[in-house]
Structures are given as structure tokens and as C-alpha cells.
Amino acid sequence: MLCSSLVCLRMYGLVLESKLDDLSAKVSDLEAQVTSIHKKCLAMESPSTVYGYASTKLGMTEDAYAGIIRVQFSGKTASSMSDPKRWSGSLPDKHYR
């Protein structure tokens, strides 16, 4: 009786070890996916990618100029002076989600 219970416990231990190995492999795969997604996110945040997307997909042109707003702050009041060259760009007609 004792031998049969030890055999059963050993078999159960092997099943648990197999499940643990499977879970460890899944964790490793998921960590690799997270690393890959993180790299893609960093690449998407680069200025060249943003500029390329804006010019190809959103219709931004090089002569589109948003202007610079300079804010001068004094102790009690703040005044803003917009840049003399106005924004001359246009938004695309397509609706993006």
C-alpha cells in the first residue's frame, strides 16, 4: 500500500513538473513578445517615424507651419505674441479613428 501511494505521488509530481515547464515556456514567450512590442513602441515614438506618418498618411507638407507662440511673463500679467508667419497647412478630408 505504501509503495503504491509513493508511486502515485511521484506520478503526480511528474505531472506538476510538466505543467511548470509548460508555464515557464509560456512566460518566456510572453516576455519576448513584450520586449518586441516595447521596441516597436519606442520606434513609433521616434521623430522621424512621426514625421513620416504625418506627411504620408495625414497629408502634412513641408511648408505647413504651425507658428510659435512666445509668452512673456511679468510679475502680474502675461501677454502672448503670435509669430507673424501664420499656419498655412490644411487638414485632410479623411476621418481617422
Predicted local distance difference test score (pLDDT) of residue 67: 67
List of E strands, 42-93: 69-73, 78-82
C-alpha cell belonging to residue 87: 499656419
From 8-17, 46-55, 68-77, 85-94, the region with the lowest mean pLDDT: 85-94
> What's the pTM value of the predicted model, to 2 decimals?
0.47
Which residue intervals of 1-97 are DSSP H helices?
Answer: 2-44, 47-56
User: How far is the C-alpha of 85 from the C-alpha of 64, rounded, in Å?
Assistant: 11
- Span 17-66, pLDDT tens digits: 999 999 999 999 999 999 999 999 998 888 888 888 888 888 877 765 56
Q: Which residue has the higher pLDDT, 71 or 83?
A: 71
